[in-house]
Amino acid sequence: MSSSKQMFAGREFSMPTTSGTVIRILGMIVLLGSFLIASGCGDSEGPTGRVTGTLQTGSQPTPSGVVTLYDSQLVPAGTATLGADGQFEFEAPIPFGTYTATLMPVSDVPAGDEDPQLAQANAMIPQRFRDPSASPLQVVIDEDEEKVELKME
C-alpha cells in the first residue's frame, strides 16, 4: 500500500492511495446513506388516529372550506374538505400530537362569476383562521378515532 502526502490546515497528512481502501470508504458511505434514507421511510411517526369532526361559525355549521392541520413547525399534517353540514374527515391517519387548524376557502371566486352561496361561505372565514401562525383553533389527536369540534367565533 502506498500513500501520498497532503496538506490540510497547515499540517501534513498521509492519505492511503490503495484502490481497495478507497472502495471500502465509498462502500461505507453508500451503506450509511442507504441506512439514513431507509430510516426516514415507513411508520416511524408512532401512533396515529383517524380524525373526523365538525366546524361551526357561531352556532351554524360552516358549509364550505378546507381544514388543514399544522404541527408545531407549521408543517401540514393533513387536509379535509368540509361538507355542507360542516362535517369533515381526514382520509389519511394523523400522527398523535397537538395541531393548529386552519380553514381556507374551497376556491377563490372570480368577480362576476360568483356562486352566491360559495361567496357567502368564503366571506364567513375571518383572516386569522386562514393563517396557521395566527389561528386559535387547536386540535389534540391522542386516540385511534378522534372526533373534534371546531368553532370559529
Per-residue model confidence as pLDDT tens digits over 24-33: 655 556 555 5
Are 23 and 78 part of one and the same domain?
A: no
**What total number of domains does the chain contain?**
2
Q: Quote the domain boundaries for residue 63.
A: 48-152
| Residue pLDDT, tens place only, 89-117 | 999 999 999 999 999 987 654 555 556 66
Are 34 and 53 part of one and the same domain?
A: no
pLDDT of 39: 44
pLDDT of 121: 65
Are 64 and 137 part of one and the same domain?
A: yes
| Residue pLDDT, tens place only, 114-137 | 566 666 667 778 889 999 999 999
Which contacts of 122-130 are long-range, i.e. CB under 8 A and separated by 24 or more positions?
122/64, 122/65, 124/57, 124/62, 124/152, 125/62, 125/65, 125/152, 126/152, 129/102, 129/103, 130/102, 130/103, 130/104
Are 21 and 55 part of one and the same domain?
A: no
Are 146 and 114 part of one and the same domain?
A: yes
Retrieve residue 21's grid coordinates. Answer: 481502501
Retrieve residue 152's grid coordinates. Answer: 370559529
Give the pTM: 0.64
Provide the residue type at 39 as one letter: S
- Please tell me the number of Cα atoms within 13 Å of 17 on its side-chain side: 7
Are 77 and 146 part of one and the same domain?
A: yes
- State the CB neighbour count (10 A cutoff) for residue 92: 11
Are 74 and 13 part of one and the same domain?
A: no
- Asked whether residue 40 carries a pLDDT value surpassing 50, the answer given is no
> Which CATH number belongs to the domain containing residue 141 in this structure?
2.60.40.10
Provide the residue type at 140 as one letter: V
